[in-house]
Amino acid sequence: MPAVNPEPHPSSYYAATRREAAEFPVLSNEVRSDVCVVGAGFTGIATALTLAERGYNVTVLEHHRVGWGASGRSGGQMLGGLPGEAALEKYWGRSHADTLFELGYRGHDIIAQRVREYGIDCDLKYGAIDVALRPWQAEQLKRMHEALCLRSMESQVRLVPAGELPELLGTDKYLGGLVNMRNGHLHPLNLCLGEARAAVDLGVSIYEGSEVTGIEHGPQVLVRTSQGSVRADTVVLAGNGYQHLEPAVLGGKVFPAGSYIVATEPLDSREVAQINPLALAVCDMNEVPDYFRFSTDNRLLFGGRCNYSGREPRNIERTMLPRLRKIYPNLADKRIEYAWGGNIGIVVNRVPLLGRIGANVFYALGYSGHGVSLSHAFGEVLADAVAGNSGKMDVFARIPHRKIPFGQKFGSQMVALGMLYYRLRDLL
């Protein structure tokens, strides 16, 4: 019997409440596949499942466990829109506006359809709100509202004046909000594991504990691990913030940024009704935002404090508690039962990297914190490209990306210095 990867998922609320317990073997021989996907987070699993639904033979290689990275540790907010919209519009003008808008919400539809079709129990709930901490952010929310109404979403979005927010969110810290009922939140690890189970049921082979050590290009691509290999017609790189392959093309373009979350003890129904009676996912408008929501068992999951320097805080709970208590001082006595963090993939211009290397190696990474939904949309775009329809992929592949020199360590420090400007702007 093949060995399985004994490595556990990183400790978190999500790992403690996962509903799928599948373990997958370590690759220990050579296999043949139509497509080899490297990475078993949302991008990799979503792409593999889409390809399997279309009849492809797919092998997925994962260094750690399915959903081990940001996909299984994130805030779980399912948000529409595209990061880097300004850069996309600057390059393309309005010529691809409809395509980009539809793509920004396409992942929502894919997730909802899979939850229904495959019976994935991931606590999917609709409703989210962006909130302003500064007057200029409140004005930005008004412009966002106008833009969404022009896209026929007027029945799903609502501007909330500052005076109504204490009733809606139990705090007077915000100057305005924009509710979007098309957005939502979910248990990310259970979604990823549920999609992996669905993919396996359709014939996908998943190998955990199987780090890719090298790729040999050719008409067929040879993907090597320490104990085995996959020979495939096509390869998809889906490592996001943990990506290290193909450095000549992708190196210096995506940098890991740490984001951290704490989960309180369960709150009682009275406290929930006072703080967030509609159970909305909340995200502030800062460039380095705080975000929070209720879990299905009424814990407040509060996250933020992106760290661009590569240094993790010594104590996540001690780091995050002042931020939580600033918004909800009435929760100061609540026990923190879980605290965790992980890396998201940040791109300087915020436009995700989507493209190909040579004829048959594709990649998608760098969602800059918007990966829950967008990774599913990109999984579909990648599957289209594998089949020869690369139109949507090419919209992104042509966007120029600045490559930061000096390697991962010093490059991350340069990104951290650059982000100081935005941190200062958040304070104005």
Quote the CA–CA distance of 81 and 65 in Å, as a whole number.
29
Residue pair 338/4 in contact by the 8 Å Cβ criterion: no
Quote the CA–CA distance of 49 and 66 in Å, as a whole number.
13
> Strands 353-357, 361-365: parallel, antiparallel or unpaired by DSSP?
antiparallel
Quote the CA–CA distance of 398 and 172 in Å, as a whole number.
44
Quote the CA–CA distance of 375 and 118 in Å, as a whole number.
18
Residue pair 231/155 in contact by the 8 Å Cβ criterion: no
Residue pair 174/162 in contact by the 8 Å Cβ criterion: yes
Quote the CA–CA distance of 272 and 294 in Å, as a whole number.
8
Output the pLDDT for position 165: 98
Output the pLDDT for position 369: 87
Burial classification of residue 201, based on how many CB atoms lie within 10 Å of its CB (0-12 exposed, 13-18 middle, 19 or more buried):
exposed
Please report which helix (H) or strand (E) contains residue 363, including its range: strand 361-365
DSSP string, 187-251: -HHHHHHHHHHHHHHTT-EEESS--EEEEE-SSSEEEEESS-EEEEEEEEE--GGG--S-HHHHT
Output the pLDDT for position 247: 84
Please report which helix (H) or strand (E) contains residue 80, including its range: none
SS3 call for 404? coil
Cβ neighbors of 169 (< 8 A, separation 6 or more) are: 129, 131, 177, 275, 276, 280, 282
Name which of 201, 183, 220, 215 is nearest 39 in CA terms: 215
Q: What are phi and psi of 174, to 5 degrees?
A: -110, 150
Cβ neighbors of 173 (< 8 A, separation 6 or more) are: 133, 326, 327
DSSP string, 43-56: HHHHHHHHHHHTT-
Residue in the structure block whose two tokens are 């373990």: 23
Q: Which residues pair with 256 in a beta bridge?
A: 345
Output the pLDDT for position 244: 82
Quote the CA–CA distance of 47 and 53 in Å, as a whole number.
10
DSSP string, 280-333: -EEEESSSS--EEEE-TTS-EEEEEEEE-SSPPPS-HHHHHHHHHHHH-GGGTT
Over its C-alpha atoms, the chain yields an Rg (Å, rounded) of 21
| DSSP structure class, residue 390 | -
Residue pair 28/227 in contact by the 8 Å Cβ criterion: yes
> Strands 77-78, 176-185: parallel, antiparallel or unpaired by DSSP?
antiparallel
Quote the CA–CA distance of 149 and 159 in Å, as a whole number.
11
SS3 call for 155? coil
- 428 residues of the chain, pLDDT tens digit each: 577 777 899 999 999 999 998 899 999 999 999 999 999 999 999 999 999 999 999 999 999 999 999 999 999 999 999 988 878 877 787 778 888 999 999 999 999 999 999 999 999 999 999 999 999 999 999 999 999 999 999 999 999 999 999 999 999 999 999 999 999 999 999 999 999 999 999 999 999 999 999 999 999 999 999 999 999 999 999 988 677 888 888 888 888 888 999 999 999 999 999 999 999 999 999 988 999 999 999 999 999 977 766 667 889 999 999 999 999 999 999 999 999 998 888 888 889 999 999 999 999 999 988 999 999 999 999 999 999 999 999 999 988 888 876 455 544 454 544 444 445 455 55
